Structure 1
Amino acid sequence: MLVAGTPAFAQSVVFLNPGKSNEAYWRSSAQAMQKAADSLGMQLRVLYAQRNRLEPVAMAQKLANLPKSERPDYVVFSNDYSTAPSILKALEGSGIQAFMAFSGIQEELRPQVGVPRGKFPFWLGSLEPNAEDAGYLTAQALIQKALKMPALRDAQGKLQMVAIAGDRSTPASIARNQGMRKAVREAQGMVVLRQEVYGEWRQDKARDQALGLFQRYPEVRLVWAGNDLMAFGAMDAWRQQGGLPGTDALFSGINTSEQAFDWLRKGQLTALAGGHFMAGAWAMVMLYDHYRGVDFLDEGLELRRNMFELFDARNSQQFEQHFSQTAVRLDFRAFSKYLNPQLRRYQFELAQLLR
């Protein structure tokens, strides 16, 4: 551990990005991490797995096999497709410290990984957005808007809805679905959830699934989607059969892509939540502190924080002004406990960062 004030090379971090380099969500996640690194004087390298489920493990193994002088200080990884056990095994004995962000550990994986700093002492901890919030906020906003539009109700006066979820195994996907179902339950019988399908986060697959769902359930007028791409696919399908998204059917999505904000401001996308892409950037703050001897142990090793915001025309424009331009610097130093000893708890708030 470095002593405060000791000259040293910049703290180095590698992010094993499970997404594609042209995928809006994972690209924005990496860009936010880079802004945090720039603000804090850290070195960041991003490796994209291009949605290949085996690639994060292979990348971890390559890092572990590097000469000791070339290995990073930290690796940040995600548990997408339940790869955490294999990634941790690949890094074991390398001297690299690991931190998991964006997703948590499912209980069925506990026997393989245990808890942070246990079976794998170099696994420092995790930071997970409360993904249930995203599913709940978007479904609730979707339902509230639909309740004000009597023309969307079926012959029994109810609202029929379908859900296009991400995948069956990723914890974030499972939690988003749980939040969506909670909002449906709170509608007290006014919403009928006809079916849930899994679009694997893809626009093309969601479009095909939505076409089938619209034929199977002709009175469906609400579509909840687990991300923005799947919402776009469902909207494509609705247009293909002559419908007008936002007018005769309502759609919701999750993520902060430029296209999602555009559709939101045009009224074709009814509800949109985002902010979870910041989990990696907030993890950079925690690792900055950890490197300097300020541990997050007192807050817990597996942190779950509320990171989602429901966007509207106003705050979506504010968001884009800060994140769409790589030249715009953001000050993450205000969130560091090392730099702000008065902080007792990490306060990771997107709204505060955008001020």
Structure 2
Amino acid sequence: MYRIICLCCCLFTALPACAFSVTFINPGKSDEVYWLTASRAMEAAASDLDIRLNVLYSERQHPRSVALARQIIALPPAQRPDYVIFSNDYATGPELLRLFNSAGIKSFMAFSAREKPVDHAGIGTPRQQYPLWLGSLEPRAEDAGYLTAKALIARGRAAHLARSGGKLQLLAISGDRSTPSSLARSEGMHRAVAEAGDVQLLQEVYASWEQARAAEQGRWLYLRYPQAHLVWAGNDLMAFGAMDAWRAQGGTPGKNGFFSGINTSEQALAALGDGTLSALAGGHFIAGAWALVLLYDYHHGRDFADEGLELARPMFTLFDTRSAARFNQRYHDLDFSRVDFRRYSKVLNPQLSRYNFDFKQLLQ
């Protein structure tokens, strides 16, 4: 099994001869459950596909992503990776594209791609202004916001919560204002609220994906809106922070306050099981592994362009207690070697006509 190389000081080593090499600039922290899970899934896919994988963590310091890119470019040509995968978290994508294209290194966006439909950064589409930008693959993030908000609203209705002006009162704690996946999750939440008709979104704040910051925001939100008993959160950590603040004021999550989250951390799955978390979606960590499947096929002459260069595919699953237990049983140790990633490659399975990147299939 190939080892993930976590470089806090950016120690690069020569890559030995192999089929091809990929470096992933991970925007998260090396001890952050979601991004560690994403890296472990990529490690399993790389092992199956004979890819040499390096993972470098920017530790949620977005200028560090650019610094890592510059250090990759500074390597002697023989030591550079064949491909670099990165995310457009905190809108770092355009600068990374420019750097890698100028250096002659093929690149691919995963997890968060460019902001659409408006191209504020002026980077265009893949293989045009930046010919070595091969494409992008991102989970259809709006699904996560929509599914969790819809389930949260249903839970609020079932609890017969008191209504103000005939409507349930909801608060939202989103990730950030610049990452496309964060914006899409929020859009999904807004769509669910609009469809419901009996829900009022009182305020949406941004906690930068952090538990402590969400707890701080929750404290003053609950004082400002004492009639609100539904809290939608853009990830699990922010949901936990909101729940911490709810407990601090004497409330009980799952009893008189209802919360939703996104991700598949052990803590989130346990909270869903014990009822303190009312709605949970996840599975999107697998996007990096699917990106390696696409690059494997591209490298071996089967271009994914026939399905599109900017792919946004269903990857989120709305968990219930049964599917959460199944996930824990199969992947609680973050060992994804049970998945045969070779079966999803068109090169290795010529009968495949379309990529299937839905996470549900990995729970069957």
What range describes the TM-score normalised by the shorter chain of this pair?
Answer: over 0.9
**Structure 1 range deviating more: 23-32 or 226-235:** 23-32
The one of 137, 144, 153 equivalent to 1:143 is: 153
Query: What is the letter of the counterpart of residue 83 of structure 2?
Result: Y
User: 1:312 aligns to what?
Assistant: 320
User: 1:235 aligns to what?
Assistant: 243
1:30 aligned onto 2:39: yes
Could you give the per-residue CA deviations for residues 207-234 of structure 1, whole angstroms, max 9, x where no partner exists? 0101101000101000000110000000
User: 1:275 aligns to what?
Assistant: 283
Change (3 A) 1:285 1:180: same
Structure 1 unaligned segments of length 5 or more: list them.
1-7
1:4-153 to structure 2, matched below 5 A, reads 9-107=18-116, 109=119, 112-150=122-160, 152-153=161-162
Task: Tell me how far apart the structure 1 counterparts of residues 181 and 164 of structure 2 sit (CA, whole Å).
Answer: 35
Task: Tell me how far apart the structure 2 counterparts of residues 245 and 268 of structure 1 sit (CA, whole Å).
Answer: 5
Q: Contact between 1:333 and 1:339, CA under 8 Å: does it hold in 2?
A: yes
Task: Tell me how far apart the structure 2 counterparts of residues 35 and 312 of structure 1 sit (CA, whole Å).
Answer: 26
Change (3 A) 1:164 1:110: closer
Could you give the per-residue CA deviations for residues 262-306 of structure 1, whole angstroms, max 9, x where no partner exists? 111000000000111111110010011111011011111001101
Task: Tell me how far apart the structure 1 counterparts of residues 237 and 46 of structure 2 sit (CA, whole Å).
Answer: 28
Task: Tell me how far apart the structure 1 counterparts of residues 336 and 239 of structure 2 sit (CA, whole Å).
Answer: 29
User: 2:201 aligns to what?
Assistant: 193
Q: TM-score, normalized by length of structure 1?
A: 0.94
How far has the Cα of 1:110 moved from its partner? 5.3
Task: Tell me how far apart the structure 2 counterparts of residues 297 and 260 of structure 1 sit (CA, whole Å).
Answer: 36
Task: Tell me how far apart the structure 2 counterparts of residues 347 and 99 of structure 1 sit (CA, whole Å).
Answer: 19
Query: What is the letter of the counterpart of residue 139 of structure 1?
Result: A
Q: Contact between 1:221 and 1:250, CA under 8 Å: does it hold in 2?
A: yes
- May I ask how many residue pairs the two structures share in their alignment? 346
Change (3 A) 1:148 1:354: closer
How far has the Cα of 1:328 moved from its partner? 5.0
Q: Contact between 2:94 and 2:121, CA under 8 Å: does it hold in 1?
A: no
Change (3 A) 1:149 1:326: closer
SS at match of 1:244: coil
1:181-330 to structure 2, matched below 5 A, reads 181-188=190-197, 190-327=198-335, 329=337, 330=339
Q: Contact between 2:25 and 2:84, CA under 8 Å: does it hold in 1?
A: yes
RMSD of aligned C-alpha atoms?
1.4
Could you give the per-residue CA deviations for residues 234-268 of structure 1, whole angstroms, max 9, x where no partner exists? 00000001100000010000111111001110000
Task: Tell me how far apart the structure 2 counterparts of residues 157 and 122 of structure 1 sit (CA, whole Å).
Answer: 54
1:173 aligned onto 2:207: no
User: 2:11 aligns to what?
Assistant: none
